[in-house]
């Protein structure tokens, strides 16, 4: 099973890029016609905030296949054919999880225990995932956790 927010993340990134371009054009046109420093300051602040938001956007791919859970995070403007996984581990390492669903921005926390009995928590924002995609992730994690807690191998 593979779930990704690629379409929403790319649409958001391109929308931010278009908004930045419009604000830059407005800044140049208004600078030549009006000499209003307050408006210039507001436009520059808006452009800086849009740049910060654009650098924070990530395309996230959650993949569960073959007993392995893989999470890949890349920027929407990266055009690589192969993207190395950000996190990859066997399904037996997952002990618990927590999914928080909000309208736009949800989060997923995976609690992992390795062979050396070290505990880790992997946090992932679920921006751009639809309700059905979140249900798919949740159902796969329910099956993994119930299998691991019923028959612990570590």
pLDDT tens series, the chain, 154 aa: 899 999 999 999 999 999 999 999 988 887 777 778 888 889 899 999 999 999 999 999 999 887 888 999 999 888 877 888 888 888 888 888 888 877 767 888 988 887 788 888 888 888 888 888 888 888 888 888 888 776 655 5
Q: Kindly state the greatest CA–CA separation across the chain.
A: 72
Tell me the two tokens of residue 100: 């928080």
- pLDDT at position 98, please? 87
What SS3 state is found at 4? strand
pTM as predicted: 0.79
- pLDDT at position 152, please? 56
- pLDDT at position 23, please? 92
Tell me the two tokens of residue 62: 């959650």
How far apart, in whole angstroms, are the C-alpha atoms of residue 18 and residue 31? 20
């Amino acid at each position: 099973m593979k779930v990704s927010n690629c379409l929403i993340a790319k649409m958001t990134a391109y929308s931010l890029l278009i908004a930045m371009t419009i604000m830059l054009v407005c800044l140049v046109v208004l600078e030549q016609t009006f000499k209003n420093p307050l408006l210039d300051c507001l436009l520059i602040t808006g452009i800086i905030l849009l740049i910060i938001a654009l650098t924070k956007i990530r395309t996230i791919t959650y993949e569960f296949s073959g007993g392995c859970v893989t999470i890949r995070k890349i920027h929407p403007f990266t055009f690589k054919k192969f993207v190395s996984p950000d996190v990859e581990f066997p399904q037996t390492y997952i002990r618990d999880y927590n999914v928080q669903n909000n309208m736009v921005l949800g989060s997923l926390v995976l609690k992992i225990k390795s062979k050396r009995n070290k505990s880790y928590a992997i946090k992932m924002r679920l921006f751009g995932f639809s309700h059905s995609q979140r249900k798919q992730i949740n159902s796969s994690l329910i099956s993994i956790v119930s299998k691991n807690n019923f028959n612990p191998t570590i």
